[in-house]
Amino acid sequence: MKQRLKHSFSPFNPFARLGIQKYSTTLPVITTVATAVGIELIINNLLNNPDGVALPAIFVFIGLIVYFAFRDGVKGGILTTVATLTYYLYIIYSRNYSAQQLQTGLETVFILSILYTAIAVIIGWLKQTLDVVIISEVKAREAAEEGKVRLESVLDQMPVGVVLVDARNNTVHANNHIENILGRKLVSEIPDDKTHTSPDLAYLNGKLIKPSEWPVTRALQKGEKVFAEEMEIVKPDKKKIILRVNAVPIKNSKGEIVAAVSTLDNVTAEKEQEVRKDDFINMASHELKTPITSMNLYLELLERNLKKSKDTKSLKTLKSIQNQTERIQELINDLLDVSRIQTGKLIFRKQTFDLNLVVQESIETLENLAERRRIIFKPANSLLIFADRFRIYQVLTNLISNAIKYSPAGTDIVVSAYKSGSKIRVDVEDYGIGIEKTEVDKIFERLYQVADRTEKTFPGLGMGLYISKEIITRHKGKLWVESEKGKGSIFSFTLPLNSGKTTT
Ligand code: ADP
């Protein structure tokens, strides 16, 4: 009832009309005219002393001007003022005043007209300004609300879980997928390390991740951008799932972090598939190793016999077969190395040796593949290192054979080995096809090959650099590339200089 009353009076309540830019013309005029008629009736019929009404009437009309200026803006105020002044003039001319009284009356009306107009304009202008401010605020609020609703529906459509956290660690929004992935609702506040109980996130090696190390917390508190970090979590039904998590901070125009957004994806099935694929590659390469070894032995036997019978034509054919089996052998070895890296079984047998000699050896092995390319070696005085000789040889052959493979005949390949501070550095420089900037980091990933092969196709499976990087990193060194598309590349690695220690 109260509500309905309030509602039905709202057209007359000027405060309820704030922010409504509908300014009435008829209501101020009708009300003022009706008031004047009312006053006239009172004066003519009820009162003995009509002059006593003059002062209250002035206040009534001021009240009306204030009311309509506040209700209907400058227009409402001015219309009321005009109607009021017209009534005042009617009084003056209808009362048989003397010339003196007429003069005084007109002067009074003139002064009142200035006063009333000023009141009408000031209050009306204030009302209209307030309307503009309120309307723009309402519009801004509606736009923000609409933007929020739109963002939330976009987030809900995304195929991954998305969490938005504000600067006070409160979860502002978690889309539907979060609940599907985690099997529960997300906590409304990110806990700190002390108050946190469960559920526990853990790295894939089993190490628990404290709330302060969660990707979203790192993004929010340290401004870190976390990309594709993998972790596991136990769902309420006790099933363990693997999550791939990204998180980025959101900054305002001043660069302050005001929120963070994190995406979660359940990659358990993908990971299981990967494990199955790795197992298959591992098994297949082990199975292939035995027949290839026997084939090599038979080929050697055949070679000896053909040499005895001096059958040069067959010997040439045999050489081609031997080259092809060698290639298969290399591929199998690479596959085995990749699976050793995956399972943490790549073992090094370290010894002290001069790196110059190993570089020299790998160049000699590859020289017959270089065709019309010149391999220039710039050695340094004794470069003793403590490392796995075979594995370093493997890295060098990979880098030099890539330099051959990815550069045109007739160009030079320059290999330099030198001391650089407390390290030994090797650069393998070619003037070949080069690598696009966007690809530079990816070429060290497992099975990655640059896709853009418009002019020529290059054989390979994209394992060499992955294996080389692992070998160098495990020797506490670094492997990187500087390259320009179409100009060539410099692959470089560093290794610690042998400090005399012979422990691994
Ligand atoms: P593969 O050579 O067997 O494809 P790698 O792991 O050795 O595998 O190399 C990965 C990718 O890096 C190659 O496919 C090639 O696109 C690029 N790459 C490697 N070395 C060079 C080089 N010297 N010049 C240009 N591209 C190279």
**Residues 421-439 pLDDT 10s:** 889 999 999 999 999 998 8
Whether 504 shows a pLDDT value over 60: the answer reads no
Whether 394 is in the pocket of ligand 1, judged by its Cβ within 6 Å, is: no
The yes-or-no verdict on residue 455 having pLDDT over 60 is no
Q: Which of 394, 449, 489 to mutate to test the pocket of ligand 1 (most atoms within 8 A of CB)?
A: 449
pLDDT at site 452: 61
| Mean pLDDT (whole number) for 257-272 | 93
User: Are the C-beta atoms of 158 and 181 separated by less than 8 Å?
Assistant: no
Question: What element of type H or E holds 355?
Answer: helix 355-367
Ligand 1 atom closest to 462 (CA):
8
Question: Residues near 118 by Cβ (< 8 Å), separated by ≥ 6?
Answer: none
Which pLDDT value is given to residue 195?
A: 73
| pLDDT category of residue 503 using cuts at 50, 70 and 90 | very low
Is ligand 1 within 6 A of the CB of residue 402? yes
Is residue 161 helix, strand or coil?
strand
Task: Please work out whether the CB of residue 428 comes within 6 Å of at least one atom of ligand 1.
Answer: no
CB of 489 shorter than 6 A to ligand 1? yes
Q: In the predicted model, is pLDDT for residue 468 greater than 60?
A: yes
pLDDT at 285: 87
Between the CA of 403 and the centroid of ligand 1 the distance, in Å, is 8
Verify whether ligand 1 is closer than 6 Å to residue 488 (CB atom): no
Per-chain mean pLDDT for the chain = 88
| Residue bearing the CA closest to ligand 1, atom 3 | 460
pLDDT at 304: 94
Per-residue pLDDT for 53 more than 80?
A: no
CA of 51 to the centre of ligand 1 (A): 108
Please say if the pLDDT value at position 142 is more than 70: yes
pLDDT at residue 456, rounded to an integer? 54
What's the pLDDT score for residue 502? 44
CB 493 within 8 A of CB 420: no
Q: Is 470's C-beta closer than 6 angstroms to any atom of ligand 1?
A: no
Q: What distance in Å separates the CA atoms of residue 142 and residue 147, rounded to the nearest whole number?
A: 8
Q: Which residue has the tokens 């070949």?
A: 432
Q: Which residue has the tokens 């497992």?
A: 446
Residue with tokens 């997300």: 186
The Å distance, Cα 443 to ligand 1 centre, comes to 7
Distance 392 CA to ligand 1 centre (A): 18
Contacts of range 102-106, beta carbons closer than 8 Å, 24 or more positions apart: none
Q: How far is CA 110 from CA 85, 106, 114, 284, in A?
A: 9, 6, 7, 109
Q: Does the pLDDT of residue 499 top 60, yes or no? A: no
Predicted local distance difference test score (pLDDT) of residue 478: 96
Ligand 1 within 6 A of CB of 462: yes
Average of per-residue pLDDT across 63-80: 95
Whether the per-residue pLDDT at 3 is higher than 90: the answer is no
Is beta strand 412-420 parallel, antiparallel or unpaired with respect to 374-378?
Answer: parallel
Quick count: other Cβ atoms within 10 Å of Cβ 165?
26
Whether the per-residue pLDDT at 324 is higher than 80: the answer is yes
Q: How confident is the model at residue 457 (pLDDT cuts 50, 70, 90)?
A: low
Say yes or no to pLDDT of 133 above 90.
Answer: yes
Determine the pLDDT at residue 5: 44
Confidence of residue 453 (pLDDT cuts 50, 70, 90): low
The residue whose CB lies within 8 Å of the most ligand 1 atoms, and thus the one to mutate among 402, 463, 470, 483, is 402
Instruction: Output the CA 153–ligand 1 centroid distance in Å.
Output: 43
Predicted confidence (pLDDT) per residue in 153-203, tens digit? 888 888 899 999 998 888 888 888 888 888 887 777 777 777 776 667 788
- Ligand 1 atom with the shortest distance to the CA of 450: 16
Mean pLDDT confidence for 91-110: 87
Instruction: Kindly give the distance from the C-alpha atom of residue 369 to the centroid of ligand 1, in angstroms, as a whole number.
Output: 16
Stretch 50-65: mean pLDDT, rounded? 82
